[in-house]
Amino acid sequence: MKKSSTAPIGIFDSGIGGLTVAKAVMKALPNEDIIYFGDTARVPYGIKSEETVRSYALQITEFLLSKGVKMILIACNTVSASAKDEIIKAAGDIPVLDVITAGTLAAISEPRHHHVGVIGTLATVNSKAYVKAITDIDKSIVVTQQACPLLVPLAEEGWIDNEIARQTLKHYLEVFKGKGLDSLILGCTHYPLFKEVIPELLNGDGASIIDSADSIAKTAFDRLADMELLNGSGGEFQCFVSDRPQRFQELAERFLGRSVSEITIVSL
Ligand code: DGL
């Protein structure tokens, strides 16, 4: 059955990181109601096995479907890498968008895209999901990946531009130096927070920085418009978390730069 245009968009992540996607969606689609789920009891996903991430992701998908969402955005790169196909199957005719497809399309749309860099969690990098998504479109593209496991805790601490953050980033980005990188995909929800510092540390190679949050928000807009499901009268933002709503609220307000009041705790 076709959903109503006033149904909410469901967005989910392992924790607060996916709020970078929620923020981009709020900007691109200010009249949509958004239901956000952050799995704060079980974050981080980036160091867990594919099977575990998949079973968590399917529980969250069921939860969002029970809320009557008209579209699901997988904001978490680790979930996109491990469970996208299973989520699409579980969602039936509800469209599912994911950050890996969005980031890939953005990178190959760049005028220069012969050499693409990807930074992400260990799980995302080990899955080679970005490498597969990019080379499935164009085999001649060279993809260099780098796992950056320390960036998630740094971002959660709000250490995004201090000496420790810079040294850590410098270490991780070393692998791309002098390799003629055309673009760098920020393949983790938390990395857009380092967006200001990264270009400088890439040493003026001129690589464009790809933030899949902007790209998935644009795709969501286009898909809803195509399906005639754009909402003209919403704008509510409701959050559900599996643990520590207060901590979520503090971090969410920092991430979004606005107050967040509707936070409900649920156990899946
Ligand atoms: N949301 C995760 C991602 O984008 C990062 C945090 C985690 O490891 O759960 O891969």
Number of structural domains the chain divides into: 2
- Any domain includes 16: yes
- Any domain includes 3: no
Same-domain check for residues 198 and 235:
no
Same-domain check for residues 199 and 123:
yes
| pLDDT on residue 258 | 86
> Per-residue pLDDT tens for 97-134?
999 999 999 999 999 999 999 999 999 999 999 999 99
> Per-residue pLDDT tens for 207-256?
999 999 999 999 999 999 999 999 989 999 999 999 999 999 998 998 88
Three-class DSSP category at 247: helix
- Any domain includes 1: no
| Ligand 1 center to 14 CA (angstroms) | 6
Same-domain check for residues 62 and 186:
no
**Ligand 1 proximal residues by C-beta, below 6 Å:** 13-15, 17, 43-46, 76-78, 121, 124, 152, 188-190
| pLDDT on residue 203 | 65
Concerning whether 148 is annotated as a catalytic residue, the answer is: no
Same-domain check for residues 206 and 223:
no
- Any domain includes 207: yes
Task: Examine the fold and report which residue of 194, 213, 232 is the final residue of a domain before the chain moves on.
Answer: 213
Residue with the two structure tokens 């690589």: 207
Whether the predicted pLDDT of 46 surpasses 70: yes
57-66, 136-145, 149-158: range with lowest mean pLDDT: 149-158
Q: Measured from the CA of 13, which atom of ligand 1 is nearest?
A: 1
- Residue 32 and residue 215: Cα distance in Å, rounded? 17
H or E segment to which residue 224 belongs: helix 212-226
Same-domain check for residues 88 and 134:
no
Whether the predicted pLDDT of 204 surpasses 80: no
| Ligand 1 center to 120 CA (angstroms) | 8
- Any domain includes 4: no
Res. 1 pLDDT band, cuts 50 70 90: low
Catalytic residue chosen out of the listed positions 25, 60, 75, 76: 76
Ligand 1, atom 8, lies closest to the CA of 46
Tell me, letter by letter, the H, E, C secondary structure of 48-64.
Answer: CCHHHHHHHHHHHHHHH
- Alpha-carbon dihedral angle through residues 176, 179, 180, 182, given to the nearest 10 degrees: -40
Residue with the two structure tokens 């900007």: 27
Burial class of residue 196 (count of CB atoms within 10 Å of its CB; 0-12, 13-18, 19+): exposed
Residue with the two structure tokens 């796992």: 147
Q: What global pTM score does this model have?
A: 0.94
Same-domain check for residues 133 and 203:
yes
Q: Ligand 1 pocket test: which of 124, 125, 190, 243 has the largest number of ligand atoms within 8 Å of its C-beta?
A: 190
The CATH number that applies at residue 139 is 3.40.50.1860
Whether the predicted pLDDT of 79 surpasses 90: yes
> Per-residue pLDDT tens for 150-175?
999 998 888 999 999 999 999 999 99
Average pLDDT in the chain: 94
- Residue 103 and residue 216: Cα distance in Å, rounded? 8
Domain around 26: 9-98+214-265
- Residue 197 and residue 201: Cα distance in Å, rounded? 7
β partners of residue 24: none
